[in-house]
Amino acid sequence: MKRWFCFYLTLICLGAAAQKRGSAYSRYLAEQTSPYLLSQKLTAGLPSEREKVLSIISWITDNIAYNTGILYAIPRKAPIVYPKLTSSEPDTLTPLNDYVAENVLRRRVAVCDGYARLFASLCYHAGIRAELVTGYVRTDRNRAETRFRSNHTWNAVRIDSTWHLLDATWASGYVTYGSNQYVTYYNPRYLLTPPAEFIKDHYPEDLRWTLLPAAPALPEFALVPFRY
């Protein structure tokens, strides 16, 4: 009986120690501001590129909130022009992505460009290629517009030699209509989405990032029923 009691007490102690280590690890990730170190922790021990990408995007959706301050600063009927930093060469994108990613990790808030660059930076440090995609998305704010204007940034990521599309911003949550309150809501519809589905509300400036054999013309895209 005494041996069983000692064994039971040992299990309790081991469980408490594991819980403490788990809390410390979670706190370490929550406080991390280095894209390199965060990427290494999030992908350590994961055997496949897909698992690494899902680990990265899961952390982003759990820990980064949308910066609604930009919405309050803009009149309701005015089109939103999101901050965008562009470069055409991957080698010059990487330091810029890291710079933006560090700022996002310190503040824990971002708009679409920050979400996309954080994802690209974490992928880069995990040895996975990810690209920024800029283009037009349909929202409640611009559904009446007929003229194309770039207003959003998302990503294309290469997994096992195949490109996939994802929108870390829209996968993380949404902003309430009228009150502009951000609500965390994990939405897998915008993670590794089939191109034929993704094109329904995301139209890239560079049509190759539709990942479709024949990209729809802009008027055709505009006629697709709006879903909010």
Are 59 and 50 within 8 A, CB to CB? Answer: no
Amino acid identity for residue 143 in this structure? R
Query: How confident is the prediction along the chain (228 residues), in pLDDT tens digits per residue?
Result: 555 545 444 545 445 544 444 566 566 676 788 999 999 999 999 999 999 999 999 999 999 999 988 665 555 444 444 444 443 444 444 589 999 999 999 999 999 999 999 999 999 999 999 999 999 988 755 554 556 678 899 999 999 999 999 999 999 998 887 778 899 999 999 999 999 999 999 999 999 999 999 988 887 787 776 665
pLDDT digits (tens, 9 = 90+) for 133-151: 999 988 755 554 556 678 8
HEC letters along the chain: CHHHHHHHHHHHHHHHHHHHHHHHHHHHHHHCCCHHHHHHHHHCCCCCHHHHHHHHHHHHHHHCEECCHHHHCCCCCCCCCCCCCCCCCHHHHHHHHHHHHHHHHHHCEECHHHHHHHHHHHHHHCCCCEEEEEEEECCCCCCCCCCCCCCEEEEEEEECCEEEEECHHHHHEEECCCCCCEEECCCHHHEEECHHHHCCCEEECCHHHHCCCCCCCHHHHHCCCCCC
Indicate whether this model's pTM tops 0.85.
no
Nearest to 142 by CA among 155, 152, 127: 152
